[in-house]
Amino acid sequence: MNILGILPARYGSTRLEGKPLLDICGKPMIQRVYEQAKKALTDVLVATDDKRIEKAVKAFGGNVVMTSDKHNTGTNRCLEAYEIFKSTSGVDYDVVINIQGDEPLLEPEQIKQILSCFDDKSTQMATLVIPVKASENVFEGGVFVVMDKNNNAMYFSRSVIPFVRDIDKNNWQQQHTFYKHVGMYAFTPAALEEFANLSQTSLEIAESLEQNRWLENGNKIKVATTEFETIAVDTLDDLNKVRNIITKKS
């Protein structure tokens, strides 16, 4: 398969301005993510609307495309970037992966795991989940997922799902394995285009989770399970955690 990995990167952030360029042990965050993705993929590019990010990516030798500043989701930015890159590279891609540009602890194995979903030729869209460990507090937040017996997502929620009836909440994790969403998506090019052109739906707006748009339109999302934990850098505390982890590893 021909695979294209795309890292959408915005400079503006309500909680952490300019986070793609924040230094993590001598490298900007976007470079950390890019280099991890390149360990699993031949073709990786950054999609941005900011000249500062474009300059930084070019400085470390990465591929980057400038996209519109009007996109309201990373998926729409990915579609434009894919169309631009395909027109210049001439490559027909089988799968496009939307890789979160704010997860510098990305494991290359996660990319391989999400790609395994496309062993099923009917897969149009795929994502990752991670089981909540018994030692973790399931009520500490995150995005939760429930799947059917064929590993297709049924629903994504910011509430803990499912609700375990007639059981004290302190004992829920003894009764059921809960899964949290890992925010990486993979699409066939046709599904990426369809997804980006669908109108927002009520469940998407209610949860502020764009993947529910695909489900609410009657489509399927194949799910792969990973055991690799990542940290999305949304705050200074997150940034410092990642810096400490990378420092210890090196």
pLDDT (tens digit per residue) in 107-136: 999 999 999 999 999 999 999 999 999 888
Three-state DSSP class for residue 192: helix
Q: Are 102 and 198 in contact (CB under 8 A)?
A: no
The model carries a pTM of 0.93
E strand or H helix at 237: helix 236-249
> Helices 108-115 and 29-38 sit at what angle, rounded to 10 degrees?
50
Tally Cβ neighbours within 10 Å of residue 98: 26
- The pLDDT value recorded for residue 91 is 87
- In the chain, what are the domains? 3-249 (3.90.550.10)
Q: What is the pLDDT of residue 238?
A: 92
Helix (H, G, I), strand (E, B) or coil at 224: strand
Backbone angles phi, psi at 76, to 5 degrees: -65, -40
Q: How confident is the model at residue 188 (pLDDT cuts 50, 70, 90)?
A: very high
Q: pLDDT tier at 230 (50, 70, 90 boundaries)?
A: confident
Report the alpha-carbon distance of residue 9 to residue 21 in Å, rounded.
10
Question: Which has more confidence, 238 or 70?
Answer: 238
CA distance 96 to 2: 9
pLDDT tens-place string over residues 35-89: 999 999 999 999 999 999 999 999 999 999 999 888 878 888 899 999 999 988 8
Rounded to the nearest 5 percent, the helix, strand and coil shares of the chain are: 40, 20, 40
Chain Cα centroid distance, residue 217: 21
Q: Round to whole Å and give the CA distance between 168 and 246.
A: 39
* pLDDT for position 68: 84
pLDDT of residue 167: 95
Q: Which of 175, 181, 250, 171 is nearest to 221 (CA)?
A: 181
User: Within a 13 Å sphere around the CA of 202, how many CA atoms are in the beta-carbon half?
Assistant: 0
Instruction: Give the chain's mean pLDDT.
Output: 94
Between CA 204 and CA 186 the distance in angstroms is 18
Three-class secondary structure of residue 125 per DSSP: strand
Per the CB < 8 A criterion, the answer to whether 81 and 67 are in contact is: yes
